[in-house]
Amino acid sequence: MLLDYFKLARIDYWFKNIFVLVGLFFFIIFSKSENMIVFHNFYLIIIALISICLICSSNYVMNEIVDLKTDKFHSIKKSRPLVSKKISIGTAKIFYVILLCFGLTFGLFINKVFFFFLLMLIFSGFIYNLEPIKVKNITYLDVIFESFNIVIRFILGWFILNTNYLPPLSILIIFWCSGGFLMTMKRYAEYEFLPKKNLINYRISFKNYTKNNLLLMGIIYLLLVIFFLGVFIVKYKHELILATPLIIVIFIYYLNISLKKNSKVQFAETIISDLNLLAMIAIFFIFFLYLLNTKINFLKIFFEVELIKF
C-alpha cells in the first residue's frame, strides 16, 4: 500500500529537481561566492529541496486525478495506482492536500522570493491540468508550457541563497528551449509507441501533431539552444565555446534514442538508466568546470572584431 503512494507521488521523478541544484550552482558561479556559503546554509538547501519535491509530487497527484479517464488508453500508465483503483480518488485528493501543505510550510523557511516561485510552480500545475485552460490539451502550447517548469526549478535554485540578483536571461532561455526539445521528443516517442486509435483519447493535443511537425519542432528547439548558448558564451565566458561539441553530441544522442521504437524517453524514470547518456553528461560537467576556471588566450581570435594581420 505504501509503495502505491510512492508511485502516486512519483518519487522516481524527483531527479528532475537536479535543475534546482543547477540554478544554485550558477548563482554561486556568478556571485563568485565562497564555497563556505553552501556549507553554512546547507540546511536551507535541504529544506528547499524537500519543499520543491513535495510540491512537484502534489502536481503529479493532481495530474493523475485529472488524467484518470485518459491514462487507461496508455498501455503502461493504465497500471498506475488511481487507474488500477489501488487508491481511491478521495484518498488521492487528501494526499494532494497533505503534500501541498507540507511543501508550502517548508518553503516558508527559505525566503519570500523562493516562496513566490514555489507558488508559481503550483500555479503552473493548475494551468497545465485544470479547466478552463488546461494547457496540456493545446497542441504546441502543451510542450512550451510544461518545459517552463524546468525554468521555474532553475529559478528556485537560484534564489535559495539569494534575493537580490536575477539570473541571466540567456541561461533561462537555454533551459526553456532544452526543456522544449526534451518534451517534444517525448511526444514523438509517445506518438510512435501508442496505437493511433488511442492517441487522441490519451492526449487531445495529439489531434494536430504529426511525426514531421514534432521532429521539426525538436530541431527548432535544438537550434534555439545553440543560438542562446552562443549569446551566453560571448557575454560571459569565451572558453565555454570548447564545450559546445559535447553539448551537441548529448542532444544528438538523445534525439537518436528518441527515434527508436518503444523509446525510453517516454518515461523519465527509464531515461536516467541510460549509462551512455549519464556518462556524457558527467564528462560535460567536468569539462565545463575546468573551462570555468581556465583562461585560453588563443580563443580571442574567434571574438576579436579587428581584422587579423599576417
Answer whether the bond into residue 132 is a cis peptide, omega within 30°.
Answer: yes
Q: Is the pLDDT of residue 38 over 90?
A: no
Domain ranges of the chain: 1-164, 168-294
Cα→Cα distances 234→225, 239, 249, 289, Å:
14, 9, 21, 17
Which whole number is the average pLDDT over 295-309?
74
**CA 22 – CA 33 distance, rounded (Å):** 15
**CA 17 – CA 153 distance, rounded (Å):** 7
pTM of the model: 0.91
Q: How confident is the model at residue 118 (pLDDT cuts 50, 70, 90)?
A: very high
Q: Of the given ranges (5-19, 110-124, 139-153, 234-248), which has the lowest mean pLDDT?
A: 5-19
Q: What percent of the chain has pLDDT over 90?
A: 49
C-alpha cell at 62: 493532481
Q: How confident is the model at residue 297 (pLDDT cuts 50, 70, 90)?
A: confident
Q: Is the pLDDT of residue 36 over 60?
A: no
Cα→Cα distances 101→14, 44, 105, Å:
18, 18, 6
**CB-hemisphere CA count at 13 Å for 17?**
21
User: What pLDDT score was predicted for residue 51?
Assistant: 96
The set of residues, in sequence order, having a beta carbon less than 8 Å from that of 249 and lying 6+ positions away, is 280
Q: What percent of the chain has pLDDT over 70?
A: 95
- What superfamily would CATH give domain 1-164? UbiA prenyltransferase (1.10.357.140)
Which whole number is the average pLDDT over 17-29?
91
Q: Is the pLDDT of residue 121 over 70?
A: yes
SS3 of residue 167 by DSSP: coil
Q: Is the pLDDT of residue 8 over 90?
A: no
Terminal alpha carbon distance of the chain: 75
